[in-house]
């Protein structure tokens, strides 16, 4: 049995999670959709950063901060339905 997932498998699952978040957000549950979307997008960012040969901090922190801000915005939405 395999001990861990490959980065390609993690990226595919993350893309599916982002797609699910988009569908949930479009059908009316904006808060839940954006939380799922931000979590999936942050996993994609981390997976891509780990594959880079030349690692620059801005390529990790900027997209990750955007995902965190989306998460915080989703939590602060009043009456999100």
pLDDT over threshold 60, residue 1:
no
The Cα–Cα gap between 76 and 57 comes to: 28
Give the predicted TM-score (pTM) of the model.
0.80
Enumerate the domain spans of the chain. Answer: 7-72
pLDDT over threshold 60, residue 80:
no
Alpha-helical runs (H) found in the chain: 7-26, 30-51, 58-76
pLDDT tens-digit map of 17-65? 999 999 998 998 888 888 999 999 999 998 888 888 888 888 888 999 9
């Amino acid at each position: 049995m395999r001990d861990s997932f490959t980065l390609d498998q993690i990226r595919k699952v993350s893309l599916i999670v982002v797609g699910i978040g988009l569908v949930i957000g479009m059908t009316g549950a904006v808060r839940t959709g954006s939380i799922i979307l931000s979590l999936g997008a942050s996993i994609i960012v981390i997976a891509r950063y780990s594959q880079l040969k030349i690692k620059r901090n801005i390529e990790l922190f900027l997209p990750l901060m955007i995902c965190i801000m989306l998460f915080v915005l989703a939590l602060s939405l009043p009456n999100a339905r």
